[in-house]
Amino acid sequence: MSVAAVFAAGSGPWPSHPPALADDVNSIDAIIRAMYASVSFSEGRGPDAERLASLCVPHGRLIKVHANNIDDMSVPEFVERVQTRISEQGLRGFVERELFRRTEVFAGIAHVFTTYESRTDDGGADHLLYRGINSVQLRHDGRRWWILTILWTDERDDCPIPAAYLPRT
């Protein structure tokens, strides 16, 4: 289903918004797991646009922070960028997994700092692409959790992930 079709077919709490699976949004743990699962894919299919959209408020933002600028995207824009990368760069499989998490909650809002690593499967060989930190802002509306913003940056040589945000070995 195209990204545009996902939003046109939705029947969630707002017009043109896909409904979420209850098990994806009933806890912070569940929504963070679903977030990682929705951006991961195999066989060049791309992210699960409908699932990712169902986790986010309709006006949710996905913002990648670079050293000198940002890419500020809606969910459809994010999915379209990944689809372009698949078609132009031949990306076949992509898995993002959580390495570490720190969560703060107060009065129905939450901030999750979640360290990730991203890997690709290119012809049977698993390659580490990058690591970084997602800063996820969430809201609980009395029924479920919603992602408001996913702000992230990849680790760089001049900006390594601090030990406080890595798994303890």
pLDDT in tens, 21-65: 999 999 999 999 999 999 999 887 889 999 999 999 999 999 999
The SS3 of residue 71 is strand
- For 114-144, write each residue's pLDDT tens digit: 999 999 866 667 789 999 999 999 999 999 9
DSSP assignments along 99-160, one per residue:
EEEEEEEETTEEEEEEEEEEEEEETTEEEEEEEEEEEEEEEE-SS-EEEEEEEEEE-BTTBP
